[in-house]
């Protein structure tokens, strides 16, 4: 690219409604693919150096140890076993009507620092949980 070239901004919009009747495993796979897409866009845009290598299992239940493991993996920081963050996020996700795998998708999404207010805003923005039921 030379100095006279201009760069036209590109907007990417994805609108895909996940049916509540879809099996949980299929919903999980779609949400995981969505998160990987966001990771790759952030990586290409220079917002992130390396995508997080996921080894933690997909959240299928409200298992505190798995939530802690995912937070550590996504943030790259070790947490104390008695850290209250997993409990706060699980309680907030349940209050919002999220499924465990939806919390897992949010944990790995970049651009937040694991505050429950950010989780609530994300759920509203994406139509998850009670926000999804209220929109119907």
CB 32 within 8 A of CB 103: no
Asked whether the whole model's pTM tops 0.75, one would answer no
pLDDT tens for 73-110 read: 888 889 999 999 999 999 999 999 998 988 988 998 76
pLDDT tens for 16-34 read: 787 878 887 787 788 778 8
Of 72, 90, 93, 91, which is closest to residue 81 (Cα–Cα)? 72
pLDDT tens for 40-57 read: 777 777 665 565 667 777
Domain ranges of the chain: 24-135
């Amino acid at each position: 690219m030379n100095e006279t070239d201009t760069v036209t901004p590109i907007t990417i919009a994805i609108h895909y409604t996940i049916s509540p009747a879809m099996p949980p495993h299929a919903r999980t796979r779609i949400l995981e693919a969505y998160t990987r897409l966001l990771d790759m866009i952030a990586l290409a845009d220079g917002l992130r150096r390396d995508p997080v290598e996921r080894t933690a299992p997909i959240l299928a239940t409200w298992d505190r140890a798995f939530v802690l493991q995912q937070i550590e993996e996504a943030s790259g920081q070790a947490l104390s076993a008695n850290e209250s963050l997993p409990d706060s996020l699980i309680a907030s996700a349940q209050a919002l009507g999220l499924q465990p795998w939806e919390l897992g998708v949010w944990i790995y999404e970049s651009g937040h620092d694991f505050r429950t207010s950010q989780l609530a805003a994300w759920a509203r923005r994406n139509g998850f949980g009670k926000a999804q039921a209220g929109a119907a």
